[in-house]
Structure 1
Amino acid sequence: MANVTVIGLGIMGLPMARNLVDAGHTVTGFNRSSAATEKLAAHGGRAATSIADAVSGAEVVITMVPDSPDVEAVVLGEDGVFANAPQGVLWVDASTIRPDVSVRLAAAAAEAGVRAVDAPVSGGEQGAIEGILSIMVGGAAEDVEAARPVLEAVGKTVVHVGPAGSGQTVKAANQLIVAGTIELVAEALVFLEAHGVDTAAAIEVLAGGLAGNRILDRKAAGMAARSFEPGFRVDLHHKDLGIVTAAAREAGVAIPLGAMTAQLMGALRAEGHGNLDHSALLLLVEQLSGRGSTTTND
């Protein structure tokens, strides 16, 4: 068991921190909103008042914040993790950020005497609650193995995919596949409804065949019901697709379908739906098809 600090107790970070408590770890949490730290404290964790307070005595520090600048703000500077955590602490960044930023911060961590592992996660809010996240891990092999007992408390599939930044690269690919699949499921649902098909029955049979996928399993029913309570917000997936398209351009890789999906996600956000679940791509498909609907979460 380890002394684990979790910085960022949002939709993903809080259930992850709770699962760490349940696994027997000593867990300290810090969040800009004190309401989240109070929820962790009620579950058996400790609520910290600052980053310096949170990382004092930590053996493992997990960051789970929205974007590259947020991670930089948390770990760098006089008030950051690197300046206040004990020497040799293991820093696990579970955020989804640019791979090049992850590589740069890993180098900065090494200079500060901090071991760095990038470990972005997939599985959404429900996966975080159930402790069955898929975690793609980048970093030195010995550091990844040191992090494994902590990661296995929050995830079911924990795979070392390469050196620093590799986890973020694999996560970018994950977000590319997820967004594209959501878009195709959205198009299929609007197509089925236009033909008057029993949508629930169609989802059931499609999920049992070669078209079966996690989006059909976890998202299609809510999409059909026009319920878009966020498990993963449009704003965040828009950010992630920006990471994908930039990284693809740098590598000289063509992603025509991914680029189109990124444009559609951006358009959905521009329509004012940034706080909805990313499955709300269905609303844009309806709009393009001239078929309006009402969402229960807008």
Structure 2
Amino acid sequence: MSKNIAVIGLGIMGLPMAKNLVGAGFAVSGYNRSPEKAKALAAAGGTAAGSIAEAVAEADVIITMVPDSPDVEAVLTGDDGILANARAGTTWIDASTIRPDTAIELARQAREAGLKPLDAPVSGGEQGAIDGVLSIMVGGEQADFDAMAEVFDAVGKTIVRVGPSGSGQTVKAANQLIVAVNIQALAEAVAFLEAYGVDTTAALQVLGGGLAGSKVLDQKGQKMLDRSFEPGFRLQLHHKDMGIVTSAAREAGVATPLAASVAQLVAATVQQGNGHLDHSGLFTLVEQLSSGSGDSGSTRNVA
């Protein structure tokens, strides 16, 4: 447990991951553009860094968890970034969700600079990050992956190397496709159940025990019933992810009609000003379309 770990990006996912690394006995230095998040890490036993350069200077492992491909590129290649300030031999784990082709290119640059890159996007949402039970899909060299076992075990439960650099991001894109389609199906089912006046809590309980059961139903069903969409994963980010899915599928010549349809529904919900909601907030559009009123009460009790 002698590794020094730098975590860049201490948001909904990054901060609890960093706290779990502290709890596992690692020395963790964290940087975030909003300094209060770094202070929260310091309060949990980590160290608040004032810059990326400061955070990574003595790191054996660097973990990035930032919103999008341009953000990862900036963190890696900027003057204050990882390539300019990390030591040769450092392992760079990108836990962000970005384009697979971007992941491949940035991994190439990292290797040329003497780093060991792993693209390792995660699934499980905020609660999974808090509980340290994330599913982590990793692309990169087998030896680099094997060397990070203790690090991954501190933040995740299902950790699998899925291929060379970029593969983790490809699997994450597939994950986001499945999750989005499931959320949309659940939203339509809840609206359907409510229209017939059934006991929706009981209905979701029995549905969850059968073939229709899923983690999406378990984690998002009650949010829809309560019209409470505090973000565990923001619609704005899933909108970005669906763009990755549809673009990559088009480049590969793969037909993804459900992905395309749900991507449009996610986009419409975001364009209505609801990008800050949890992705279960897709229900707001279903309810609005079902009411025919052009106005939904679905956003009450929203953070």
**For this structure pair, what is the TM-score category when the shorter chain's length is used for normalisation?**
over 0.9
| 1:217-236 CA-partner distances (Å, limit 9, x unpaired) | 11101111100000000100
Query: How big is the shift at 1:57?
Result: 1.0
How well do the aligned residues superpose, as a CA RMSD in angstroms?
A: 0.8
Instruction: Report the counterpart of residue 263 of structure 1 in structure 2.
Output: 264
Report the counterpart of residue 178 of structure 1 in structure 2: 179
1:197 corresponds in structure 2 to: 198
CA distance in structure 1 between the partners assigned to 2:42 and 2:78 by the alignment: 27
| Aligned twin of 2:55 | 54
SS at structure 2 position matched to 1:97: coil
Residue 43 of structure 2 corresponds to which residue in structure 1? 42
3-state SS, counterpart of residue 232 of structure 1: coil
List aligned pairs for 1:218-237, cutoff 5 A. Answer: 218-237=219-238
Give SS of 1:21's match. Answer: helix
Task: Establish whether residue 77 from structure 1 lines up as the match of residue 68 from structure 2.
Answer: no
Q: How does 1:1-298 map to 2 (within 5 A)?
A: 1=1, 2-290=3-291, 292-295=296-299, 296-297=301-302
CA displacement at 1:294 relative to structure 2: 3.6
Aligned-partner SS, 2:114: coil
What amino acid maps onto 1:252 in structure 2?
A: G
Q: Which runs of 5+ in 1 are unaligned?
A: none
How far the C-alpha of 1:78 sits from its partner, in A, is 2.4
Q: In structure 2, what is the Cα distance between the partners aligned to 1:24 and 1:210?
A: 40
2:159 counterpart SS class = strand
CA shift at 1:136, angstroms? 0.1
Contact 2:287 2:298 in 1 (8 A): no
* Shift of residue 148, structure 1, vs aligned partner: 1.9
Q: CA separation in 1, counterparts of 2:298 and 2:89?
A: 53
SS at match of 1:142: helix
CA deviation digits over 1:168-193, x for unaligned, max 9?
00000000000000000000000000
Which structure 1 residue ranges, 4+ long, deviate > 4 Å from structure 2?
none
* Alpha-carbon distance in structure 1 between the residues aligned to 2:149 and 2:120: 10
Give the aligned residue type for 2:302: N
Deviations 1:177-214 (A, max 9, x none): 00000000000000000011100000000000000001
* 8 Å CA contact 2:77, 2:84 repeated in 1: yes
How many pairs were matched up?
298
Q: Give how far 1:290 is off.
A: 1.6
SS at match of 1:153: helix
Contact 2:66 2:72 in 1 (8 A): yes
- For the 8 Å contact 2:16–2:129, the answer to whether it is kept is yes
Is the Cα–Cα contact under 8 Å of residues 126 and 233 in structure 2 kept in the other structure?
yes
Question: What secondary structure does 2:108 align onto?
Answer: helix
Gaps of 5+ in 2: none
Q: TM-score, normalised by structure 1?
A: 0.99
One-letter amino acid of the structure 2 residue matched with residue 105 of structure 1: L
Kept in 2: contact 1:92–1:147 (CA 8 A): no
Instruction: Tell me if the contact between 1:96 and 1:240 (Cα under 8 Å) persists in the aligned partners.
Output: yes
Amino acid at match of 2:12: I
Cα distance in 1 for residues equivalent to 2:172 and 2:241: 9
